[in-house]
Amino acid sequence: MDDNDNYDELDTAALDVLRELGPLSTEDWAIAMPDRGFGRRRDMYELVDIVDSVDLAFLPDMRKIAVATVLEGRALTHRFNHREVASDIIESMDDLSPITTLLQFAEDPAGLRTKYRGIGDDQIFTIRGIDDPQWPPSEALVLPEGTLSDYEPGDLVSLVVVDGVVRIRAVDGPLEHIDVTAALHEIVPEDESVERDAVVYQLMYDRPDLFAKPGPPLSEIYAGAGIEQSDDYVARTGFDFDAAAATTRMNIVANTFGVDTDEARALIWFGDIMRDIRGEAAHDAQQRAEAAVSDGADELASLARSDVAALALNRHFDSEGAAEALLHVAHALLNAGPRRVTAAAHWFRATALDRLGDALSAEKALEKALDADSHFEPAVLALAEYASTRGDAVRGLSLLGRIDPDAGADLREMLEPYVPQDRPDLGRNDRCWCGSGRKYKVCHLGKNGLSLEERGEWLYQKAGGYATGANSAELILALARIRTEHLGSGDDALAKAFDEPFVGDVVLFEGGRFAEFVTSHGPLLPADELMLAQQWLLVERSIHEIESVSPGEGMSLRDIRTGDRHDVTERSASRQLSAGQFICSRVVPVGEGFQIFGGIEPVDPSQRTELIEILDADPVDAEDLVSFLSARLAPRRIETRDGDPMVLCEAVFELGEVGGLRRRLSRKYGAAEGDRWHWKAGTAILGTLTLDGTQLTLEAMSERRIDTLIDDLMTLHPDADQMSQRRLSAEEAMAERSGEATEPVEVTPELAALLDKQVRAYEQKWLSESIPALEGWTPRDAAADPTRRDDLIRLLDSFPEEERVGAMSVRRLRDMLGL
């Protein structure tokens, strides 16, 4: 029996226990399991916490209950309207959802199905002639066509559970009088909302006779008891569902992002405006943005804080149309927003213009942001990056001096080597050293005098910085994961892949980010750097043969695709490479010479033809390229003579009665050597079978062989009971026997910062993604919904708790989700 079978049996047993003893808290349920002979309490707590079944629901006090047992024999009714009769579709949420929960994952034997508007089921509504996209608003019960042909609007129908099956029946005769006003007021406190189905299950559990016969629909019972419904919740009449939902949403945002309530309101208001106007015509979008900003001026005031403004932007700037929407919001904030958010508004405008490719206008907007607040951190950082792009290291460092040193540490480190060094041997009014004929103070005093060759690395770093912030996280992560596939498993391998210069270079060139950089930020570059960048765009990655090497200085290369020869300045790799080797790289001109940026990938001579095909594609597929050149990193695979991976396999079986098995084994594998049989192919031994009393041990060197031996044994002796099994790759076996331990990859502070930035961005994106494990819900929505919160908690509990560089932090996710 495999682990899945074992789990399924325990899952079934757990539900049986709940049906017998329920309702139970998770803790009491876990205690009840070992009391009935199922496992240890700790293991059972984990089991019952993840049991998933349509039969499982909650009471208002969060105890779990097996609803099929409670629903057995119960009838809930619904009064038809004309659309329902015409389409054979019932809007089921208000009256029938406590029963239709049993139909969530499969069609009922009676042909009943639950479908949901807006999550992939819309086609059935169209087929049934419903042209209103707002009806049904949520869950609907779809009946076989013609089911309601004899009904009229206003007629009643009942759903009843009989032997666990949902049946639809006509309602004949008088309705049972049901008065549960006092009970409802006991279950639903004042000033609180309670999950609707949980209320019904509590009523049914407390009153076994309730709903045994058809009575008024739940919606009419609630109305008569002074209870109102909204979506999945009920509350006393007069309860402000909208205000409660807004408060819940605000609390979730505040807890998720660690902000106070005013800041949470600003984030919510900003996000609502962005969503509302995204994709709208420019004139309409601007008008709606200004109206919303005017109405919410007080709520938006917290955007004056740079960290809140940055958080607002990061949450809503990763989708199509976001730049245009942000530009409208920025204008609206400048025209109708509170004055204190002026710096943030100009920064928003600059960010949108930058994404739209207008770097010059973005730079002007950043200057205005600093005019409003000279220490507004996001604008300071952005303008310092622009100064770097212009080649002005002095101004860039001066700007960074206004903010926390940690915020601009990477940029500061990049700029410091390019600070111009003044000539102490020249006076301000002396002729400049460069031969221009102008005075030193006019020509080069305080200005960068580095040659283009000396600035080549800086240009490459500028483009890399652009790529990191240009919505490239998804591409970078995808390529890093491909690289990781051959670097081993775990977060350390991913961290190493992020640090691979080859991955970054592919993002820039094959990924198209360098072309974007030249187009959008080219006007900011010094003229000679712009020309150089344009030259780099014309250079293709290629395969080069190393013709000669000067260790520590450079190499002479021949491009085997074009025949071009280049003498390349290269101080590091030239100490390790030798003439006759082949490499894949991008050899680019820099001033009068040539250099290689973005890593050097060794190429086996036998791979040249296939790699040329990849490089000749138009365009080159970035993922194919990284995958092909990363294959060399895969560990050498030890194989059997059959070409299978070598795996040391052992399986031990208890035979019980050996009987005539010895004779049958000898017929199958030949005469035994003592108590051992050999499975042979010619003279080669493919596996062994060793008998020790009533235990038989099977051994083989591949998984295919051990599976064959096991199948043969079960044919020869069907009563054999497997006691244990072990499968160990040859590499694992060698490491185990030699006591080797894998050394962790060193993660530098720079890499850790990059990984942290990428991972946090991915975490934010993950929180708003549709997750299959949550049945398509986003983690944010699941956290806000009591009926889905346990599913989310179970999903997070399945994540590794250990905090590791380059991996999502389950602690951080829980904090952001308010869990």
Residues 75 and 165 in one domain: yes
Tokens, residue 714: 């079960």
Residue whose structure tokens are 């308010």? 818
The pLDDT score that the predictor gives to residue 739 is: 47
Give how far Cα 500 sits from Cα of 494, 625, 630, 811, Å: 10, 14, 11, 28
Read off the pLDDT of residues 426-479 as tens digits, 9 standing for 90 and up: 777 778 766 667 776 667 666 656 888 889 999 999 999 888 876 777 888 888
**Regarding predicted confidence, which is higher, 116 or 426?**
116
Using alpha carbons, select from 137, 343, 329 the residue that is nearest to residue 232. Answer: 137
If one counts the domains in the chain, the total is: 7
Co-location of 529 and 553 in the same domain: no
User: What percent of the chain shows pLDDT beyond 90?
Assistant: 39
Q: Is the same domain home to 727 and 773?
A: no
Predicted pLDDT of residue 490: 56
The answer to whether residue 674 sits within a structural domain is: yes
Among 575, 604, 621, the domain boundary falls at 621
418 lies in some domain: no
pLDDT band for 638, please (50, 70, 90 cuts). Answer: low
The percentage of the chain sitting over the pLDDT mark of 70, rounded to a whole number, equals: 87
Predicted local confidence at residue 133, as pLDDT = 83
Q: Which value, in Å, is the radius of gyration of the alpha carbons in the chain?
A: 35
- Whether 250 shows a pLDDT value over 80: the answer reads yes
Residue at which a domain ends, from 344, 373, 402? 373
The rounded distance, in Å, linking the Cα atoms of 131 and 146 is: 19
Whether residues 734 and 782 share a domain: the answer is no
Query: How does pLDDT run across 202-220, given as a tens digit for each residue?
Result: 999 999 999 999 999 999 9
* Residues 334, 277 share a domain: yes
Is residue 517 assigned to a domain?
Answer: yes
Retrieve residue 737's tokens. Answer: 């026997």
Which tens digit of pLDDT belongs to each residue from 383-396? 999 999 999 999 99
Position 316 scores a pLDDT of 84
Each residue's pLDDT tens digit, 560-606: 999 999 999 988 888 888 898 999 999 999 988 999 998 899 998 87
- Write the DSSP string, 595-640: EE-S--EEE-GGGHHHHHHHHHSSSPPHHHHHHHHHGGGSPPPPB-
Model confidence at 743, pLDDT cuts 50, 70, 90, reads very low
Structure-token pair, residue 808: 């999502």
H/E stretch holding 91 reads: strand 89-91
Instruction: With respect to residue 384, please indicate whether it lies within any of the assigned structural domains.
Output: no
Q: Are residues 15 and 48 in the same domain?
A: yes
Judging by beta carbons within 10 Å of its beta carbon (0-12, 13-18, 19+), is residue 245 exposed, middle or buried? middle
pTM for the predicted model, two decimal places: 0.64
Do 354 and 251 lie in one domain? The reply is yes
What range defines the domain where residue 528 resides?
454-533
Could you tell me where the DSSP H helices lie in 96-169? 97-100, 122-127
Q: Contact at 8 Å (CB) between 548 and 555?
A: yes
Residue 639 lies in a domain: no
Residue 811 lies in a domain: yes
pLDDT at res. 366: 96
Q: What is the pLDDT of residues 468-522, one digit of tens each?
A: 876 777 888 888 888 887 665 555 666 676 777 898 999 999 999 999 999 999 9
Instruction: For residues 216 and 179, state if they share a domain.
Output: yes
Tell me the pLDDT tens digit for each residue of 753-784: 555 666 677 678 778 877 655 656 788 888 88
CA 621, CA 169: separation in Å to the nearest integer?
60
Where is the domain boundary, 337, 358, 373?
373
pLDDT of residue 747: 43
Q: Which of 183-192, 209-218, 634-643 is predicted least confidently?
A: 634-643
* Residue pair 62/68 in contact by the 8 Å Cβ criterion: no
The CATH number for 699's domain is 3.30.160
Q: What is the pLDDT of residue 421?
A: 72
Say what the pLDDT of residue 775 is: 59
Rounded CA separation 758/499 (Å): 12
> pLDDT tens digit string along 641-693?
777 887 888 999 999 888 788 899 999 999 988 899 999 888 778 899 999 98
| pLDDT mean across residues, the chain | 85
Separation of alpha carbons 458 and 455, rounded Å: 5
Which phi and psi angles does 157 have, rounded to 5°? Answer: -135, 155
Domain identity same for 30 and 146: no
Same domain, 283 and 346: yes
Mean of pLDDT values over 48-71: 85
Shared-domain flag, residues 47 and 84: no
Whether 226 and 89 share a structural domain:
yes
What is the pLDDT, as a whole number, of residue 373?
95
| 168: β partners | 159
Q: Is residue 472 part of a domain?
A: yes
Inside any domain, residue 424: no
pLDDT band (50, 70, 90) for residue 144: confident
